[in-house]
Amino acid sequence: MNEHFHPSEPVAPPVPPAYAELIASHEHVSERLRQALHKRAEPDDPAYQPRTMSISQLETLRAALARVIPQEGLGIDLAARIDTMMAEATGNGWRYEDLPTDPEAYQYGLATLVDLARDRYGRAFAELSGEDADALLRAVDAGEAGIAGDKRFTAEQMVLWFEELRSDAVRIYVGHPAVMARIGYSGIANGGPGGAGFAGFQLIGIDEREEFEVEGTAERAAMMETAR
């Protein structure tokens, strides 16, 4: 069975102390951005109830996202965050002409994914092995899987919807402070109060790093592995 994010208790991916210190810096990070980052770092509710889709659709979305962005135990409930984004209308504000509104697009896309999985493998998408789930998603991405019917997407529409799903997921995932720390993203240090006054970034050459910039944990781990 496909293993995907389904927490039994609140999960808050840890933000390394050095990165948490950068977030807390009033010299480098504006108060508005700091509040947004703190909100993103809050643990996800293990009993989350979807607001724009059914519970089974939420589980299907979690299963799909587990194949798109394997988290290796990081534990960000991307599906719940996407659902919340749609419920609160905080997305990117545009859609493809060939797709309906975002909530409807997710409902129809996920319903199509479930039907495709049952047609090809005799099981719901959330019940597929990782190999079968990957194969189906690759077929969707290639424009080779779709269903013509009411509240279902054709193969062409599935290509567009799957692109939107990946865009939403990556934006939310990379915007989490724990992931920012992992990749060593220091762009949050855009100034002090109000973000108006820049307090750094004089060193912009290759391999140059300001004192306040934090080395990514993934970068550090890779360097340690190479040194062995």
Strand partners, 11: 44
Please provide residue 3's backbone torsions phi and psi, each rounded to the nearest 5 degrees: -90, 125
End-to-end C-alpha distance for the chain, whole angstroms: 36
Domain ranges of the chain: 17-227
| pLDDT number for residue 9 | 67
Top pLDDT among 220 and 30 is at 30
Provide the β-strand partners of residue 44. Answer: 11
Q: What SS3 class is residue 13?
A: coil
Please report, rounded to a whole number, the percentage of residues in the chain having pLDDT higher than 70.
87
Q: Where are the alpha helices (DSSP H) in the chain?
A: 17-24, 31-40, 55-68, 78-87, 102-121, 130-141, 155-174, 177-183, 217-227
pLDDT of residue 228: 45
User: Which pLDDT tens digit goes with each residue over 102-138?
Assistant: 999 999 999 999 999 999 999 999 999 999 999 999 9
Question: Cα separation of 152 and 10, whole Å?
Answer: 34
User: What is the tens place of the pLDDT at every residue in 8-65?
Assistant: 667 789 999 999 999 999 888 989 999 999 999 999 999 999 999 999 999 999 999 9
Q: What is the pTM of this model?
A: 0.87
Cα 62 from Cα 3, distance rounded (Å): 9
